[in-house]
Amino acid sequence: MTPVKLFSGDSSRYLAEKIAEAYGQPLGSLTLQKFSDGEMSPSFNESVRGSDVFLIQSTFPPADNIMELLLMIDAARRASANQVVCVIPYFGYARQDRKDKPRVAIGAKLLANILMAAGANRIMTCDLHAGQIQGFFDVPVDHLDGSAIFVPYLKSLNLDNLLFAAPDVGGVGRARAYAKYFQADMVVCDKHRKRANEIASMQVIGDVEGADVVLVDDLVDTAGTICKAAAIIKDKGARTVRAICTHPVLSGAAYDNIENSVLEEIVITDTIPLRRESEKIKVLTVAPLFSEAIQKLMTHGSISSLFI
């Protein structure tokens, strides 16, 4: 078999180490030199010639994380790697997936173009903000599903009257998938925004009386939407409200919003590192999911078995 080598970018090392441990081999040795002006120069400290190289790096801000990944791709390609697979647990700029008003960029497509231009042969990611972003790439994309992490946890809670909620119309598909699996009902929170990160109004479509409600989303940023939805659902008579969100962007006043909310808990994954701890935030790791996906990729197995 072709040798497999796993390397990590600087910002995702905490997760890459867990993925490597689950995979059963240590991370490869890589040095990231930084010049005094902040310019980066990554270099591999071992041969990657003829190897399948997996570069693990989420692309959350700052933009240095993207640049570091691009430089690692270029270094691996120039060092004659057999193929370069970018493992991007959180794909940044995914919210910019279309022109929703005049004279704006489509950031997700731009990032896809840059990754391919740098020499990426394959992309592996989890819970894209919009599934159609896979079509922005002209290389294979392994789009993993966070449900493999969240479903076992929800089962362990043994909730009596489970009901799933979409915090906005765009999240209906995600909530419906969970509702179908658990044979439960679902409701929708319809929101109207004045501008980004600012909600003008919200209403709940459906009955939540006496239910144990689980809000489902792909990411949580300022937590304004999820906390407001939880408050409205609670006011409508829900017994408990919790949320599951794959990517903890958690910017601005997110931590304060969560701690002051009616949420029982918000369950997230470690695709992005937390800036601070909170009793209401529970972290589940995606390391086994990515490790198994890498294993199946190398043995030409189907990753469809990883989906619930």
Domain extent listing, the chain:
4-145+287-306, 147-284
pLDDT in tens, 43-82: 999 999 999 999 999 999 999 999 999 999 999 999 999 9
Residue 174: the pLDDT is 93
CATH node for 147-284: 3.40.50.2020
Out of 191, 194, 228, 236, the active site residue is 191
Residue 306: the pLDDT is 84
Q: Is the pTM of this model over 0.85?
A: yes
Residue 291 has pLDDT above 80, yes or no: yes
Residue 307: the pLDDT is 81
Average pLDDT over the chain, rounded to an integer: 94
Task: pLDDT band for 26, please (50, 70, 90 cuts).
Answer: very high
15-24, 192-201, 294-303: least confidently modelled range: 192-201
Query: Is residue 280 annotated as part of the catalytic site, yes or no?
Result: no
Residue 199: the pLDDT is 55
pLDDT in tens, 265-283: 999 999 999 999 999 999 9
Domains 4-145+287-306 and 147-284 share a fold: yes
Q: Which two tokens stand for residue 176?
A: 């419906």
pLDDT in tens, 170-199: 889 999 999 999 999 999 998 765 566 555
Per CATH, domain 4-145+287-306 is 3.40.50.2020:
yes
Integer Rg of the chain from CA: 20
Task: pLDDT band for 100, please (50, 70, 90 cuts).
Answer: confident
Contact 60, 67 (CB under 8 A): no
% of the chain at pLDDT higher than 70:
96
